[in-house]
Amino acid sequence: MTRTVLFCATVDYHFKAFHLPYFKWFKEQGWTVHAAAKGSMKLPFADRQFDIGIERSPFRTGNLAAYRELSRIIDEHEYSIIHCHTPMGGVLARLAARKQRKQGTAVMYTAHGFHFCQGAPLKNWLLYYPIEKGLSFLTDCLITINQEDYQLAKGLSSRMRTEKIHGIGVDTGRFHPVDEEEKRRLRTKHRLNEDDFVLIYPAELNMNKNQALLIETAAYLKERIPNVRLVFAGKGLMEAEYRRLAERKGAADHVTFAGFQKDIHEWIKLADVSVASSIREGLGMNLLEGMAAGKPAVATDNRGHREVIKDGANGFLISQGDARTFSDRLFQLYHSPELRERMGEEGRKTAAAYSQQHTVKEMADIYSSFMKNEAAERRLKG
C-alpha cells in the first residue's frame, strides 16, 4: 500500500471548516493527502483534490456517477487509509472502497450525528439504521462524537472498531475571551450597538437548525429587553421564510441576518450569549466555540447539546419548542452579569476538553494504529 490517505465528504467546505488540522498532521508524518468532494475550493495541505459530484440527497441520480468516479480514483491510487465524512460521502466512499479494503486499505467513517437517534422519527430509523448496519461490515473504524451515537455504533457490528472523540476540535487560538474595550471595538466594526444584548447562532438556515424557535423567542424578549439583538450567521434555503417570520412576529428590528461570516470568531467574541435551536445535533460546535470565548450557552435539549451543556452550570437546556422558557432563561442571564461570567468560566473548562490540540491527539492515536503493518495484516486475514 502507499503512504497516501484519502478524505471524502459531500462538499469540500466540510474539509476547510473541520479537517485541515488532520490534513496537516498527515503531512507532518510524511504522508500524501488527497481529498474528494463536490467543489473546487483550494485546500491547504492537500496534495491532490478531486471534484466529485456528490449530492446530499440519497435519491439524486448524480450519486451514481459520483460512485463510479470514486471507485476509479480509489482503484487507481491504492490508498492506505480512506477516511470519509458526511452521510453521502460516507455511503459512497465505503461502497467504492470494497475491493481495496479486501487488499488492506483501512476504511474509516466519522458519524457527525446519526440521523437515527433517541426521539428521531420512525422513518429515520427505517431508512438510515439499516443502511448504517449494512455499511458497518465495510467499515474498519466508526468514529462518533457523542455518547449516544457511540452506544448505537457499538451495536451495529461486533467486528467493527468503534471510537468516541471530542468532536472535531475547537481552535482556542481563535476563540477566546476579550475585554470590554475589544468587545466594543468589534461591535462597532460589525455595526452593532454597544449596549445591545447580543445572542449569536452561527448555523445554516434550515429546518433542522430551527431558527424559527429563536425568532419566536426574540419576539417574546423584545418586550422585556428592548435592546435584544439576535444574530444569525449563516446562509440557507430557509432564509426568506425566516425573514418573513421575523416580520410577522414583529421581531424584524431585533433579528440580524448576517450571512456567512469568515470572521465568525469576532462575532462570537462580541456576543453576550451563544444560542442554538436545532432539533437534531451531533455535537454543539458553535456552543463550544462560544464557551471557549467565555459565553454561557442556552440551547434546545438534544443529544449533541446534552453532550456539552451541564444545565445550570455552563448554560441552560431548553425543551424543544419551548420559546417562553428560552426567553425566561435569556432574561435571567440579561439581568445577571455575574451569572453570565460564572457560566462563561465553567464553559471555558468544558471547551478545553474539546480543543483542537486534544482532538488531533485523539485522532492521531487512531490513525497511527492503522498505519502499522500488523493492522493491515489483520484486516487482510479478517
What pLDDT was estimated at residue 377? 52
At residue 344, the pLDDT reads 98
Average pLDDT over residues 224-250: 97
Q: State the CATH class of domain 4-169+356-381.
A: alpha beta
**CA–CA gap between residue 55 and residue 61 (Å, rounded):** 9
* Amino acid 118: pLDDT: 76
Mean pLDDT, the chain, rounded, equals 93
Confidence of residue 152 (pLDDT cuts 50, 70, 90): very high
Res 380 pLDDT > 60: no
pLDDT grade for 376, boundaries at 50, 70 and 90 = low
Q: Do the domains at 4-169+356-381 and 180-352 have one common CATH topology?
A: yes
- pLDDT band for 120, please (50, 70, 90 cuts): confident
Confidence band for 125, pLDDT divided at 50, 70 and 90: confident
- The 10s digit of each residue's pLDDT in 130-142 is 989 999 999 999 9
Report the alpha-carbon angle 48-50-51, nearest 5.
Answer: 145
- Average pLDDT of the residues in 306-311: 96
CATH (residue range 180-352):
3.40.50.2000
pLDDT at residue 69 tops 80:
yes
Query: Where do the structural domains in the chain lie, given as residue ranges?
Result: 4-169+356-381, 180-352
Q: What is the mean pLDDT of residues 95-124?
A: 88
Q: Is the pLDDT of residue 178 over 80?
A: yes
Q: Which long-range contacts (CB under 8 A, 24 or more apart) does 189-196 make?
A: 189/266, 190/258, 190/266, 190/267, 190/270, 192/229, 192/231, 192/256, 192/270, 193/227, 193/229, 195/227, 196/227, 196/228, 196/229
